[in-house]
Structure 1
Amino acid sequence: MPLLNAKPIKLNHKLTVHAPLSRRGHGPGIIIIRTDTTTSMKNQRVTLDPEPLQKWAEEGYTVAQVTVSSNCRTVKADLRQAIDALDEHEKCDKKTYGAIVDEIDNLYEIKAIVSYGKLARTPKKKFIYHLPEQGTKSKPESGVVYRYPDVSSASFIIPSHRDFSPSSAAVAHTRCLSFLKQELDGPWFDLEEIWDEHTNFEFSERSVENTMGTMVQEPYVNHIPTMTGGIGREALSSFYAKHFIFNNPEDTALELVSRTVGIDRVVDEFIFVFTHDKEVDWLIPGIPPTGRLLRIPFIAVVNIRGDRLYHEHITWDQLTVLFQLGLMPEYLPIPYDLPYGPRPGADKRLQYRVPGAGARTADKMVDESSVASNEMLTYAVRETMISSL
């Protein structure tokens, strides 16, 4: 599943088109109208997120981007050129289009409108606004308004802009997808199938090449508790080859507990099961094989862009891993004075009972009644002689 090699084609100094980068290779058309980011407004931080032109192509759309000056006087004519370019594009499925704009006043002859900033006149067609201001979601006639109180400007979705906000941009992008897919009838992909394909290449076929083939040009994986993974294609390919795909024990199994599928995400609860018969450095770095069977509750949040994975956020309770390995004592000392008490007696030190559990955490994820709730609420500190620590 090689990545498609479609590149943006600049038709003139204002208009650029991009064929879809999904494996399907064709899709509905959208128009992006935006202003250039000036040198003084450039983002000095490196980010993995691509500019909107490539991002929406990765989502499976045929994209026409119009770059306009700040006065926007010719936007109607520019939009007409963009519509004509999509009409003639061999990879564009439909002749009604969505539009994503960045502080532009006038839009015509499109089916659905997304604007980062209020337009001079409220559109009569279906629209959503993403506004950099205080407030909550509202629903005026024909539209939806989302507000982002923690961003600096409407350019928060532009990775090259200094006001880029990764988390707000991700939320806004998902909202745009939900809106545009509904209004433009797609493109639709089976996200479960894409995620299952990816995990099959990881754990069954154990193929680095095929696993990376299910991902966008620059993906990332972040294992939250151990901060392992890879950022970007080169680093992630190396991580998969050296630390993940061939480092998992042969009996590794993923027992699915629940799955939630959104417009661009799959969220799994599952039990990660294996016998610790080899060092699994991405999960428990530096710990030699113990021979113990581990059942670890996991949560995976998987972002899928088009029909390829963009990122995986994977988390688990590392404390239960240490308990199951027999490496976590029941009590540990409190190494400092507590400002609000209690205070230990002479020649004594306080210990706390470690608030964690072993494989019962996996049991309780699978069956909520299998383990009693709130047992840890009875935990208390204890005193012990300093000489006994």
Structure 2
Amino acid sequence: MHDIRLIRDDPAAFDASLARRGFAPVASELVALDERRRALMTEAQVAQARRNEASKAIGAAKAAKDEATAATLMAEVATLKERLPAIEAEEKALGESLNAQLAAIPNLPLADVPEGADEAGNVLVASHGTPGTFAFTPREHDAIGPALGLDFETGAAMSGARFTLLRGAAARLHRALGQFMLDTLSGTHGYEQVVPPLLVRDEAVFGTGQLPKFAEDLFKTTDGRWLIPTAEVSLTNIVREQILSEAELPLRFTALTPCFRSEAGAAGRDTRGFIRQHQFEKVEMVSIVTPDASEAEHERMTACAEGLLNALGLPFRRMKLCTGDMGFTAARTYDLEVWLPGQGQYREISSCSTCTDFQARRMNARYRPEGEKATRFVHTLNGSGLAVGRTLVAVLENYQQEDGAVAIPDVLQPYLKGLNRLEPAR
């Protein structure tokens, strides 16, 4: 959410930043709407003051037995009484229109974000690890998985496309991955574990930017709640409508939750396999920090996700997303892309974003700097640490054996009672 006061102060700069994301200029329209709204507010205040003044004068006129003046004043008060609700209604409507337009505008990119129309404009920051070599032709996970418990057919028969049933070895590996991620983030990196609600109200998904623009990408229940598309929604809204002390910051939360996405905008993409599902599990990281700490926190959060991939021995690269490929609420995003030898390409496994104060304004989440009376908006950041299903895919493809078995990364073996190899069903 943008501050109309900042747009008023420098409309050209706002339009220039928005143009980097491919949007047409809107500042003049927003400022004109705001000026009309403020003019109505002033008109209402003047009218109310005059009404109060005239009402007092009526009493004085009647006391002086000046019936003509009293009658004139009473007529004026009646006119003002009739006019005021219309002014207030128009001002309210303009305010709602202004807020709706502001809510539909994405966050502005930070200065170092590269310009580009789509993923082709993303920039490689660093590569980690070397893709392994195989004495055989590596297979994709949907060829390896069924013998290990990835049951695509039963999942689809039960729930439709983009649902998968995990059984046996695949279910155990999936659970181990999630626990390893959660334990590492909380035990090594200081994130507080949270078990958040999976169903949230409108204001929660509005606060993190999914509503109103992306309603079709969400699932809604019959009682009007939304299934979370990511634990970012629940974790970030922990500070909704709060005023924190500076001493309380930073706050760092992590959660392992199911996530639910309709994938309305991904028709025809990744229809095979376990890459893009309507229901999946993800470990999420959320940080709430002061503005001067958000740059360092973005690097820290991304490094935490990278540490998980390094520990798993998975080759990956860090990409800085361009202006045309960033999410709605992001001011800068790093994507971590893991190497999948079966597909012969890198695929996103984590996305870490700084949202500056964009979400905080939508949630009215603030803090009071030490020694100051005024409050400021916090900065929010979120990242995947990691998408569990995609990590399962990466382990299956990178650790596959010629006989169909899958070796278990060392860090996961304690979660599997020392098991070092998943054997396919014969």
Report the structure number with the largest CA radius of gyration: 2
Q: Same-fold call, TM > 0.5?
A: no
Structure with more of its chain in helix, by fraction: 2
TM-score range (shorter-chain normalised) is: under 0.3
* Structure of higher RCO (CA pairs closer than 8 Å, 6+ residues apart): 2
